Structure 1
Amino acid sequence: MIRIILAEDQKMVRQGLRMMMETDSEITVIAEVENGKEAVTACENHVCDIIVLDIRMPVMDGLTAAQIIHERWPNRKILMLTTFNDENYAVEALRSGANGYMLKDAEAEDLIRAIRSCLSGGLSLQDQVAAKIMPTLINQQQERSVDPSLTPRELEILQQLGNGKSNKEVADALYLSVGTVKNHISIILDKLELRDRTQLAIYAIRHHIV
């Protein structure tokens, strides 16, 4: 069962989102909260797999909550769900530790697919969000060249991550085991001094590896 904490300040929207997500029999919303502070508290009180956060909420916004949750529970996935198709919000969400960024007008099947993608280690961006965010990432200030310590195999894996692939998808594409892929990702993170696979994906984009 996929256990979700849902943070959304508007009750009717929150109820609608819950109904959409729970059309999948393997998904259950274990807690509904109205702001980011309550989302952090819910993470303390519940064991969950993924936190679905609105961005603009009272008391504490979703970006701040995402950063706190990611730092305290790095293995829990975070999906931002918002009305704002804005590249600055999306970039900030990824920097805060989010594993995906979806719009509230998404179809139920797209939302469920995004949840499953985040849980499998993928980077889930709605198409119209990706269309905005990729040029923003690529056109940011010039980065240093690709770390020369990366091996050809590590660069292949980094390329796959930059394309939003999950560990299993990377393993299938490169004919490796999932365990081997995880080991390579850990080594790449250490070499690049990055904290998670989302930062690896951004690194790959900025350095034109994808």
Structure 2
Amino acid sequence: MDTQNNIISVGLVEDQQLVRQGIASLLAISDNIRVVWQAEDGQDALSQLANNPVDVLLSDIRMPNLDGIAMLKQIRQNANSLPVIMLTTFDDSELFLNSLQAGANGFLLKDVSLDKLLHAIETVAKGGYLIEPSVLKQMSEPKPAPSVGVTRNELLSEREREILSFMAGGFSNKEIANAVFLAEGTVKNHVSNILTKLDCRDRTQAVLKGLQLALI
């Protein structure tokens, strides 16, 4: 990120030219987000990244040659923690899980509002992550209880499940604290307990596991 001007540089990956240009035109409205290059597939994006690193990568999932998930796996294999937001026209929970497992920081549908898209880019640029609410709702439908010797409800307390839901929405500890009327330090402790109970190293892993175990 250009810390002097607080400009977030973005790489845009989309195989359909009109869609790509449309997204770039919308992002140009923002004062603090700048699309510095565009790519038509994952392979093109990897080449662009090698020569011109960016703060955030905004990528379609389904593309020819090298799709978004395969591209993301290659990025992560090189120990690159670049924040990546995946875009799709498909409200598909499998694509969502595959994206998270590959290391995505966000997942949005292409019909997302401009405000939400800008917020997502700003969120992941700061180290957060964001999940499309409609996909989260789909993933939260009843699933078989995990075979771990305890029921889903016993894994986390009601308060911890509530906080995990906010984590899935990309809320910071401070934002969660304001929403549930708790001290920020208390929320931090809850988050730590959630990570311990779910045996996860970070918030993204906890959200993914929470979705898989239908805790959210």
TM-score range, shorter chain: 0.7 to 0.9
Counterpart residue type for residue 10 of structure 2: I
Q: Which of 5, 18, 30 pairs up with 1:24?
A: 30
Read off the aligned partner of 1:2 and give its amino acid letter: I
Q: Judging changes above 3 Å, is the alpha-carbon distance between structure 1 residues 157 and 74 closer, same or farther for their aligned structure 2 residues? A: farther
In 1, are the aligned partners of 2:140 and 2:214 still within 8 Å (CA)?
no
Say if 1:164 and 1:209 are closer, same or farther in 2 by CA, change over 3 A. farther
Distance 1:36 1:160, change over 3 A: same
Please report the RMSD computed on the Cα atoms of aligned residues, expressed in angstroms.
3.4
Q: CA deviation at 1:95?
A: 1.1
* Paired letter, 1:139: K
1:69, distance to aligned residue in structure 2 (A): 1.7
**1:189 Cα deviation from its structure 2 partner:** 6.5
Mapped pair 1:165 → 2:171: yes
Give 2:143's aligned amino acid.
N
Tell me the equivalent position of 2:121. 115
Unaligned runs of 5+ residues in structure 2 are 1-6
Distance in 1, matches of 2:194 and 2:213, equals 15
Sequence identity (%): 33
Q: 1:68 aligns with which of 59, 62, 74?
A: 74
- 1:76 is paired with a residue whose SS is coil
Partner of 2:140, secondary structure, is: helix
Q: Which residue of 2 aligns with 1:142?
A: 146
Question: Are residues 21 and 73 of structure 1, via their aligned partners in 2, closer, same or farther at CA, if it must alter by over 3 Å?
Answer: farther
Q: How many residues align?
A: 203
**CA deviation profile, 1:106-128 (whole Å, cap 9, x unmatched):** 22112112212222343322232
CA distance in 2, matches of 1:102, 1:12: 19
CA deviation after TM superposition for structure 1 residue 160, in Å: 5.0
Matched residues in 2 for 1:10 and 1:157: separation?
38
SS at match of 1:101: strand
Report which stretch shifted further, 52-61 or 70-79.
Answer: 70-79
Judge conservation of contact 1:79–1:115 (CA < 8 Å) in 2. yes
What residue in structure 2 maps to residue 10 of structure 1? 16
SS at match of 2:85: strand
Aligned to 2:3: none
With over 3 angstroms needed to count, the CA separation of the structure-2 counterparts of 1:83 and 1:50, relative to structure 1, is same
Counterpart Cα distance in 2 of 1:82 and 1:72: 25
Compared with structure 1, are the counterparts of its residues 80 and 176 closer, same or farther at alpha carbon in structure 2 (3 Å cutoff)?
same
Instruction: Give the gaps of 5 or more residues in structure 1.
Output: none
Q: TM-score under structure 2 normalisation?
A: 0.74
Distance 1:129 1:162, change over 3 A: closer
| Partner Cα distance (2:46, 2:145) in 1 | 33
Which deviates more, 125-134 or 30-39? 125-134
C-alpha change, 1:143 and 1:91, in structure 2 (3 Å) is farther
Partner of 2:139: 133
